[in-house]
Homo-oligomer: A and B are copies of this chain.
Amino acid sequence: MKNIKLIIEYRGTAYWGWQRQNDVMTVQESLENAISKLTGEDIKLIASGRTDKGVHAIGQVANFKTESSIPGRNYKFALQEYLPDDISIVDSEEVDIFFHSRFDAIGKVYRYRVYTAKLPRALYREFYYHYSYDLDLEKIRQASNCLIGSHDFKSFMGRDCSAKSTIRTINSIAVERDGDIIEFVINGQSFLRYMVRILVGTMLQVGSGKIHIDDLKRIIDGRKREYAGITSPAHGLYLEKVFYREKHLDNGNRIY
């Protein structure tokens, strides 16, 4: 029995999110089908976490158990012909049999891409949130500083989230601007449902003057979803990296 870890990139546009569901196509089902065709086994993939409908990934991590003799590092090549064009394997390796993509994850990085010009761009439609307001980057950075750290993020949680505790820790938020593009890089231990998108929506509304920076503390303390800003749309969001404790399980960009 081998335990195979995959690092996965996908364009979320055509999928109803990561997690397998009845009647609609998901990334998990598409990947499980591909691996099953390759190995001839029923495959159950365990991911670092779900991604919602329309969300992209550059570095999603998932693992599966198999009796196949295919070497771990070969899956990234062998799966190509079984996968649709919008899912690709960044890397693959055999890992410790006890490695679990979700339980062992100790942190994640999400990237959120925003295009701020007045007019939309056809080539950006699936990949950037078009938010065409004049933005005060200094205010956005102030807002991001208020959000870093351990807080009760209940105001930033989707209403259908069933998490027991709503306390989460954000390690860092980088706000990068390049012309009309603004990217948020959010590093945290774990996240509530829709939390990244509500954080970004709120920071954008601080930047455009719709939410006052002084209200942010009240929004956090209020612990009600309606206090925070908009949920920014799924198509700007990318799961970029998942961190694991063990060095040999780290999602790095190693060369084989």
Complex contact A120–B58 (CB within 8 A): no
Assembled-state Cα–Cα distance A80/B121 (Å): 10
Residues of B within 8 Å of A87, CB to CB, are 122
Complex contact B120–A80 (CB within 8 A): yes
Q: A99-129 vs B: 1/0 string, CB under 8 Å?
A: 0000000000000000000011111011100
Is A10 located at the chain interface by the 8 A CB criterion? Answer: yes
**CB proximity of A115 to chain B, nearest CB, Å:** 11
For chain A residues 1-42, which have a beta carbon within 8 Å of chain B? 9-11
Is A169 located at the chain interface by the 8 A CB criterion? Answer: no
Complex contact B122–A10 (CB within 8 A): yes
Interface residues of A (CB under 8 A from B): 9-11, 56, 58, 76-77, 80, 85-90, 119-123, 125-127
Residues of B within 8 Å of A121, CB to CB, are 9, 88, 90
Assembled-state Cα–Cα distance A231/B31 (Å): 32
Complex contact A86–B120 (CB within 8 A): no
Take A76-B119, A80-B120 as given contacts and tell me if A86 and B125 are in contact as well, using a CB distance cutoff of 8 Å: yes
Residues of B within 8 Å of A80, CB to CB, are 119-120
Residue of B nearest to A255 (CB): B118
CB < 8 Å: which of B58, B85, B90, B123 contacts A9?
A: B123
Assembled-state Cα–Cα distance A88/B87 (Å): 27
Assembled-state Cα–Cα distance A58/B126 (Å): 16
**CB proximity of A246 to chain B, nearest CB, Å:** 24
Assembled-state Cα–Cα distance A88/B85 (Å): 25
Assembled-state Cα–Cα distance A119/B58 (Å): 13
**CB proximity of A254 to chain B, nearest CB, Å:** 13
Complex contact B77–A122 (CB within 8 A): no
Complex contact B122–A85 (CB within 8 A): yes
Residue of B nearest to A92 (CB): B119
Assembled-state Cα–Cα distance A56/B58 (Å): 24
Residue of B nearest to A84 (CB): B122
Assembled-state Cα–Cα distance A9/B56 (Å): 23
Complex contact B119–A77 (CB within 8 A): yes
**CB proximity of A22 to chain B, nearest CB, Å:** 25
